[in-house]
Structure formats: C-alpha cells, structure tokens
Amino acid sequence: MLRWFARRLLLAIPVVWGVVTISFFMMHLAPGDPARTALGEKASNASVAALRHQWGLDQSMPLQYLNYLKQLVHGDLGTSVYYHAPITSLMAQRLPVTIILVVLSAILTMLISVPLASRSATHPNGIAAVAVRLFNAVVQGAPTFFIGAMLILFLGVRIAIFPAGGYPADIGGRAWALVLPALTIALGTVPIMVRGLRAAMIESYGSEYVAFARSKGLPERPIRYGYVLRNAGISGVSILGIQVGALASGALVIEQVFAIPGMGSMLMTGILNRDYALVQACTLVFGLLVVVVYLGTDLAYARLDPRARLS
C-alpha cells in the first residue's frame, strides 16, 4: 500500500511541474508589462524600470524561470502589489477559508446525493425519482451565481435563517455563514453526482452479488449499506474527485456572491486590480490543490476498492 502510494506520488510530479510551468509562462508570455500596469500609465519610465529590476523582469526568460522555481521551493509566492504584502502570508489567511468551503460543499453534495440517488434507484418511478429528474434538468442549466442569489433571497432574506453574505469573526458565525455558499456550490454538483450514483446503484442492485447476499438471507438494510452503497460509493468518490475542479470554480464565483474572503475573492481582487503576481499565485495554488485532491481521491479509491491496489 505504501509503495503503491509512493508510485502515485512520483507520477504526480510531472503534472505538478506542468502546473508550475504553465502558471509561469502564462504570466510571462502575456501581452503588456506587469510593472507598467502596476504603477499606472503616469509613472515615469525610470520607476517602471526600477520595478522591473526589482521583480527580475529585466533578466532573461530562462533565468526568470529558474528564479521562480527557486522562490517556490522556498515557499515564496512573490509580493502582492495591491495588498503590499507577501502572497504566502495572504494565502495563509485565505486558503483555509476556501478549503473549508470546498470540503463543506463536497460533504453537502454527498449528504444530498446519496439519499436522493438511493431513493430513485430503489423506486425508479416514485415521486422522489421524478423530482430528482426535474431538479436535475433545471439546476444543471442554472448558473451557480443565480442559484446563490435565489438561496440568499429565500433563506437569507425572506426567511432569514442564514446570513445573506459576509464572514463574521467568531467561529460559530463563520460556520453558519458558510452553509449557504457551500449549499450553492453543492447544488451545482448534485445533479452529476446523483446521476452517477444512481446508475452505479442500479447496476449494483441488479448484480449477482446482491442476489447471492439476498439468497443468504441478509436483510435489505445491510445489503444497501454493505453491498450497494459500498460498491457505488467507489464511483461516487471518483466523481467527487473529478468534480473538485468544478467545486473550486464554484467557490471562486460564490465567494463573490456571498462576500466570503477566500482564495476566489482574492483572485478576483487580483484580476480587477491587475495584480499579476497575485493572479499567478492564486492560479498556481488552485492547480496544486486539485492535484493534491486527485492524489487523495486515488488514496480513498484504493481504500475502498481492494482491486485498485493491484495495478
């Protein structure tokens, strides 16, 4: 198992390298001069040149690339022009918020999807199944921010259970404030998850191993949990792994809608203020985050499915 995971880690290295390299070239091959943009059109050529020198933009591309790598190894993501602060310390405040938001939405996705999929798998013509289909049809077409706006309207304003936005200082308030945003992100993933889980569960219910379990006299409940969900859960985990990119994308938008100070809103701040280093760092960290989640998915997959450990 350990060796298996070590191999997975090794295989992830080229992807990590690729993510780093793309984030570097994306910013350095872009049209325009970051230093000029940072200082504004009215800045003198001398001060722009000074900033270019400070950022190392006057060096050759390979040298800049090496410097970039060197900085990253030391955990240095550069300096934000807008915040006048090292990006690493900004990340330390923002990243946990987004991670909590994404994890929460992943949990909500599962909490909503499993019962829905389970119900519509066992009762394919029941009310729940029809409701799920209608829900899927509408929700998958609606933009995330629209769902967010609707949730704010109904659960934040009309029936004010949850705050309509913001991120209070106390822990309890924060947890409460994250429910609606997480729910919004989750709703975007639920249709995909329900479809995948339902298909897997229907397949599992029709399988010979479930028939054999029944023939042994195992009641339906343990069959549902120990057999059907256990097997369908494997595809659920991989769907969740793939969807983490979508969850992160959702977080980016939803942090705007709910005014949550996470990575997404920091990226947007960077974009609106043309803070190149900040945008670059946020893109990179989001990319690395997804690679880490993919690895985690592999690990979870191997824990759930003994066959996966073989290959």
Partner 1 sequence: MTATDAAAIARTAITPPSRKSRVWAPAWMRRHNLQLWIGAGMLGLMVLAAIFAPLIAPHDPTTPDAAHALLPVSADHLFGTDNLGRDIFSRVVYGARSDLTIAIVAVVAPFVIGLAFGIVSGYFGGWFDSIMMRLADIVTAFPFFILVIALVFLMGNGALSIFIAITCVSWVAYARLVRGEAMVLRNKEFVAACQASGISTIGILVRHFVPNVVSQAIVYAMSDIVMNVGVIVTLSYLGLGITPPTPDWGSMMAGGQQFLAGGFYGMTLFPAGAVIWTSLALSFLGDGLTHQLRIDR
Partner 2 sequence: MTVDSTGEPLIVEGLSLALDIGGVQLNALRDVSFSLRPGEARGLVGESGSGKSLTLRAILGLLPPNARITSGRMVVAGQEFDLTRTDRDHRRRIARLRGAQIAMIFQEPGVALNPVVPVGRQIVDAVARRNGLTKRAAREYALHLMELVGIHDAAAKIDAYPFELSGGLKQRVMIAAAVAGEPQLILCDEPTTALDVTVQKQILSLFTHLRDELHASLLYVTHDLAVVAQLCDSVTVLYSGEVMESSDDLRAVFDGAQHPYTEALLHSTPDVDRIEQRLYSIPGSAASLSDRTDGCQFAPRCEYARDDCRTGSIPDTSGTPGRVVRCLHKVGAPADGVPVGGIDG
Please report how close the Cβ of residue 306 comes to partner 2 at its closest, in angstroms: 4
User: Which residue among 107, 111, 157, 211 contacts partner 1 (CB under 8 A)?
Assistant: 157
Please report how close the Cβ of residue 225 comes to partner 2 at its closest, in angstroms: 12
Segment lying near partner 1 (by CB under 8 A), choices 49-57, 106-114, 137-145, 215-223: 137-145
Please tell me the distance from the alpha carbon of residue 176 to that of residue 180, in angstroms, as a whole number. 8
Nearer to partner 2, 147 or 229 (CB): 229
Please tell me the distance from the alpha carbon of residue 306 to that of residue 15, in angstroms, as a whole number. 26
User: Which residue among 169, 171, 272, 310 contacts partner 1 (CB under 8 A)?
Assistant: 272
Do the beta carbons of residue 254 and residue 260 sit within 8 Å?
Answer: yes
Q: Give the number of residues written for the chain.
A: 311
Nearer to partner 1, 132 or 177 (CB): 132
Please report how close the Cβ of residue 299 comes to partner 1 at its closest, in angstroms: 9
Does 225 engage in binding with partner 2 (CB under 8 A)?
A: no
Please tell me the distance from the alpha carbon of residue 161 to that of residue 153, in angstroms, as a whole number. 11
**What's phi and psi for 85, nearest 5 deg?**
-145, 155
Instruction: Give residues with Cβ within 8 angstroms of 219, minimum separation 6.
Output: none
Does 14 engage in binding with partner 2 (CB under 8 A)?
A: no
User: Which residue among 59, 88, 249, 261 contacts partner 1 (CB under 8 A)?
Assistant: 249
179 touches which of partner 1, partner 2, none (CB within 5 to 8 A by kind)? none
User: Which residue among 222, 225, 292, 296 contacts partner 2 (CB under 8 A)?
Assistant: 222
Per-residue contact track with partner 2, 150 to 189, x per CB under 8 A?
Answer: ----------------------------------------
Segment lying near partner 1 (by CB under 8 A), choices 48-56, 110-118, 128-136, 167-175: 128-136
Per-residue contact track with partner 1, 211 to 240, x per CB under 8 A?
Answer: ------------------------x-xxx-
Do the beta carbons of residue 182 and residue 103 sit within 8 Å?
Answer: no
Please tell me the distance from the alpha carbon of residue 121 to that of residue 194, in angstroms, as a whole number. 10
Please tell me the distance from the alpha carbon of residue 206 to that of residue 171, in angstroms, as a whole number. 46
DSSP state for residue 79 in the 8-state scheme: E
Alpha helices for the chain (secondary structure H):
2-28, 34-39, 45-55, 61-73, 87-122, 127-139, 144-151, 171-205, 208-215, 220-222, 230-258, 263-272, 276-304
Q: Which of 180, 185, 295, 156 is nearest to 237 (CA)?
A: 295
Task: Kindly report each contact of residues 91-96 with a partner whose C-beta sits within 8 Å and lies 24 or more positions away, as own/partner.
Answer: 91/263, 91/281, 91/285, 93/261, 94/261, 94/262, 94/263, 94/265, 94/266, 95/262, 95/263, 95/285
Please report how close the Cβ of residue 208 comes to partner 1 at its closest, in angstroms: 19
Q: List the structure tokens of 204.
A: 């599992």
Residues 165-194 that bind partner 1 (CB under 8 A): none
Q: Which residues bind partner 1 (CB under 8 A)?
A: 8, 11-15, 18-19, 22, 26-27, 30-32, 130, 133-134, 136-138, 140-146, 149, 152-153, 157, 164, 195-196, 199, 235, 237-239, 241-242, 244-246, 248-249, 252-253, 256-257, 267-268, 271-272, 279, 282-283, 286-287, 290-291, 294-295, 297-298, 300-302, 308, 311
Q: Which residues bind partner 2 (CB under 8 A)?
A: 206-209, 211-219, 222, 226-227, 230-231, 234, 304-307, 310
